Structure 1
Amino acid sequence: MVYLYFTADTPVLVLKQALWRCNHTRETLSSPQDRRKRTQHCCLAQRGHLTLKVKMPETAEAVSATLTTNRNCTIEITNVSGSYCLINPKVYMSSGFCQHPPQPTVRPTKTEVCSFTKDGNTATGAVGLLTYDLFHMQSRVCSDRMAIMFSVPFDHNLYKNRLSVGVVETSRACDKHLYDQLYDGKDLSNFARSETSGGGLEYQATYVDLRATMSSIGKAIVKMELYDKMGR
């Protein structure tokens, strides 16, 4: 069994099967008598659990630097909301594929990073859609779905990077239909869209606000923040 607990500065991975292991001798202490004896004679014995530090999430810039293609998109999501947790991520790719998958859960005050890149040896871009369900922690209900559409085209002479963010019903699937609506749909009631030059983009939903930016280069970075609606 493996589980996590959190200290003030870092999460700690706990291995259940490693209980009562001496950090000095690496000896497994199976009986209560052995545990008492080792604890008395080895100052380095750690009663309870063997703990391992877990590496914290990298920044979007650090993840982007690892991508080897010339057309990719790295998305950094920061959950500033105190009411909502992001769960159940879904991805639809019109072009390219997911390189670093989205985190299953983005808890309040946390920042997570994922990335998408073009197919190798092809004149294509990294274009797709990422959605998360908005889980309201007090009512324990998912009533809305957050959507991020990103487009990093192969030919920047003809096209610009494009970004859309919005909130739709949970009944809306993360698919080509929703992607098409966010990419060039005429009805902007559920999302905001822009061809990016590094400027900001904001969408105000009923209960949350989304704020995002996207760089204009081929190795694009998107930074998005989720806020509780002001005054609620």
Structure 2
Amino acid sequence: MDRPLAFLLGYLVVEAAFHYTLAEMTVAAIVSAAASTVSAGSTLTGTTLSNLMKNDYRVNCGIEVENWTRFILAYPVVKIAAGALSIPPGNILPSKREAMVARKTSDSATGTSGTVSWLIEGQSRRIVVMWSAPYDFNFYSNWLGVGITSRGETFNAQGNSWFYQMYYGSNSRSLGFSRSEYYWESNPVIYQDDLIQLSATMSTGHQAQVKMTVRPINASDLATPIKAILKY
């Protein structure tokens, strides 16, 4: 039977305070299988996100993405609203972990902000991540948004329109998303459609680290190495 993975992950949070259910055991097995099979891709081989972010800039934002799905996350596109790109993103293969890094502009009291998106190969939609890491916490906070375009919306929006929509605006016909402020705490921001669930956190300092997991809604869409561990 095709079990709805995102439902089970949500069920774990709701039921955890009561008793250890079969659904929780299933989720625990999935999380354990992912932990033992998801490995570093080309950008993280022999290094970590923290190491990639080591430079002389006051403000950096590193984004690390784990792909638990059978889909390649391909054709990444970065749109910088403020700052500069230090390490560009690449394709994210199933059961791989990849990273990118953005930074502030040299000799300026500014932070970094923008969007990065990946095509969910074969599914005619894109994952979109919005970040904003300011220079001065007296006026601004770290913000993170995660979203998915509607089926058939495979092209990037012009200019920085996705950034402005995800930072200031609301869902539209072509893009749905959730966002969260990261000033005191680093609670997950979650968004899902009928295919994918995105769960991400962002740290609260000037060396902001974003960690995002891309999970399938249905267990049949898990990456093959994860399914092999689960004997699915």
| TM-score for the superposition, normalised by structure 2 | 0.70
**Greater RCO (Cα-Cα under 8 Å, separation 6 or more):** 2
The answer to whether residue 203 in structure 2 is matched with residue 215 in structure 1 is: yes
Maintained 8 Å contact 1:130/1:174: no
More strand by share: 1
The within-5 A match list for 1:1-232 is 56=45, 58-64=47-53, 66-82=54-70, 84-103=71-90, 105-135=91-121, 141-168=122-149, 169-173=153-157, 175-187=159-171, 190-196=176-182, 197-230=185-218
Give the alignment's Cα RMSD to 1 decimal.
2.3
Measured after TM superposition, the shift of residue 72 of structure 1 is: 1.0
Maintained 8 Å contact 1:58/1:113: no
Change (3 A) 1:228 1:71: same
Measured after TM superposition, the shift of residue 63 of structure 1 is: 1.3
**Unpaired segments ≥5 residues, structure 1:** 1-7, 12-53, 136-140
Secondary structure in structure 2 of the residue aligned to 1:178: helix
Change (3 A) 1:102 1:132: same
Measured after TM superposition, the shift of residue 124 of structure 1 is: 0.5
In structure 1, what is the Cα distance between the partners aligned to 2:102 and 2:169? Answer: 23
User: Across the two proteins, how many residue pairs are aligned to each other?
Assistant: 174
Secondary structure in structure 1 of the residue aligned to 2:64: strand
Measured after TM superposition, the shift of residue 184 of structure 1 is: 1.1
Measured after TM superposition, the shift of residue 199 of structure 1 is: 1.3
In structure 1, what is the Cα distance between the partners aligned to 2:60 and 2:159? Answer: 20
Counterpart amino acid of 2:142?
N
Counterpart amino acid of 2:76?
P
More helix by share: 2
Which contiguous aligned blocks of 4+ residues in structure 1 show a shift greater than 3 angstroms?
none
2:224 is matched with none
In structure 2, what is the Cα distance between the partners aligned to 1:184 and 1:173? Answer: 16
Secondary structure in structure 2 of the residue aligned to 1:87: strand
Maintained 8 Å contact 2:67/2:96: yes
Bigger Cα Rg: 1
Secondary structure in structure 1 of the residue aligned to 2:124: strand
In structure 2, what is the Cα distance between the partners aligned to 1:210 and 1:174? Answer: 23
Change (3 A) 1:55 1:100: closer
In structure 1, what is the Cα distance between the partners aligned to 2:114 and 2:47? Answer: 22
Q: Percent identity?
A: 30
| TM-score for the superposition, normalised by structure 1 | 0.70
In structure 2, what is the Cα distance between the partners aligned to 1:211 and 1:77? Answer: 10
**Superposed CA offset, 1:125-145 (max 9, x none):** 01111011001xxxxx24100
